[in-house]
Structure 1
């Protein structure tokens, strides 16, 4: 089995306080693979770009792409994934810059893609009750479960959550899904799962722990909920039949 070319995409907005620690937490074995790490500095004003470039100078497998202005979470992913495809990636993994999703778990999450057992890997906080164990507020837990139930019913899938930010994709997946045409909302990840189902791609979920600490979230929960429901409705109306 040939070694697959892995790109780790890190959207980074106002992540100056956490970005360096995320790199330090990436396991050594990841750096020993054929891996490139792409930090998409999404118009940050707090020095995130400077820190990312300093890291890149000390690590030859790290590169930085700057958005001159903030374009948002989805656009940062689209930039990173498009770049990964252009550079010949076999696998693209999304890793958040705030450290909430454990970089230590990358080897476990990458494994099904490296073995060609999946096209999409979801790091699920809802399996094994990881969300509640990790301190997810009850209102977020209930909202996650309710929205996921609606989405499963609407999309004909059976996944434990559509709302994780720990997502990994095969090249086949990124080529099959026209991801640049998806929304620019915070529910881009959920749309990718929906589209993977439509394309009959192999989806695998792996339980991950939940960590709620001092991270600053830019997600607005009420707006996010309405975005999810709007996407469900648009799918019902046939918007995603492309």
Structure 2
């Protein structure tokens, strides 16, 4: 009988292995009825990519796509060696621009469910089947991984105090504005039902970090059901993180997005974020 772990393992380094270990496992696993594609928006992830993938439960997804946003390290080389599907941006398009490529590819490949996870090992990929289950059971249309189960755990695991309090303040504000009860609006682990990506005009969104906030505001506008699942927070030197200045800009743009959502709902201002006309862009 497997051990009941008292804490999740943390091993940010892992030997490189081929992705078939995940996509085509030797052991028998229950057959999936839906096509599941995992997408990894990557920038300078050579040190954490293999560790992130090592936690993927065998048989949990059908394909893994890495979109590289013009990394300056060996991210692409390692991803290709591991057998991932790779799309390279010829120039840096930003975090939001990276996700646009990820989601358009997944839609074009016929994905029923799309898993987005940062390849920086902050998020525990072992919860992927459980998050997918909430989609398959019809409980949620979008599932986010919540890093903040408690203040003590988040701070002890290395989350900077200023980032913790900024996260709590912004998440509370967003919950009030959007009428939700999520634990972490700023998670880099998300699972989507296909029709969410088909309906939401995400190509209209920012190419910067506020893309995520805009996407969730759009999801509420279009009536999709949001939920979350706890994942342990992992902060260490190799994990990517935006600095205080960029976090401050992100916070301001998050507040602006919420105010725009309210103004659009009250019909005081019309925003292209909530247009039913989808503007597609070609993969670059």
TM-score in same-fold range (> 0.5): yes
Relative distance call for 1:141 and 1:90 in structure 2 (3 A) is same
CA distance in 2, matches of 1:108, 1:170: 14
1:113 deviates by: 1.5
Q: How does 1:109-120 map to 2 (within 5 A)?
A: 109-120=131-142
Question: After the TM superposition, which of the residue ranges 133-142 and 35-44 deviates more from structure 2?
Answer: 133-142
Instruction: Provide the secondary structure at the position in 1 that maps to 2:120.
Output: coil
Q: Measure the CA separation in 1 of the matches of 2:55 and 2:181.
A: 32
Q: Aligned with 1:233: secondary structure?
A: helix
Contact residue 201 and residue 274 of structure 2 kept, 8 A? no
Structure (1 or 2) with the greater helix fraction: 1
Which residue of 2 is the match for residue 106 of structure 1? 128
Distance 1:133-1:110 versus aligned 2 partners, 3 A rule: farther
Pick aligned residue for 1:232 from 246, 254, 258: 258
1:147 equivalent to 2:145? Answer: no
Q: Tell me how far apart the structure 2 counterparts of residues 72 and 154 of structure 1 sit (CA, whole Å).
A: 26
* Counterpart Cα distance in 2 of 1:92 and 1:166: 11
Q: How does 1:118-129 map to 2 (within 5 A)?
A: 118-129=140-151
**Which residue in 1 is equivalent to 2:98?**
76
Give 1 or 2 for the bigger CA radius of gyration. Answer: 2
Q: Is the 8 A contact 2:217 2:258 kept in 1?
A: no
Instruction: Answer with 182-191 or 126-135: which moved more.
Output: 126-135
Deviation at 1:135, TM superposition (A): 3.0
Q: Which range moves more in the overlay, 150-159 or 117-126?
A: 150-159
Question: What SS is found at the alignment partner of 1:84?
Answer: helix
Structure-1 separation of matches of 2:252 and 2:150 = 27
The gaps in structure 1 that reach 5 residues or longer are: 57-61
In structure 2, do the counterparts of structure 1 residues 231 and 122 end up closer, same or farther at CA, with 3 Å as the change threshold?
Answer: same
Q: TM-score, normalised by structure 1?
A: 0.89
Runs of 4+ more than 3 Å apart:
127-130
- Write the deviation string for residues 175-206 of structure 1: whole angstroms up to 9, x where unpaired: 12111111222122222222111111121111
TM-score, normalised to structure 2, is 0.76
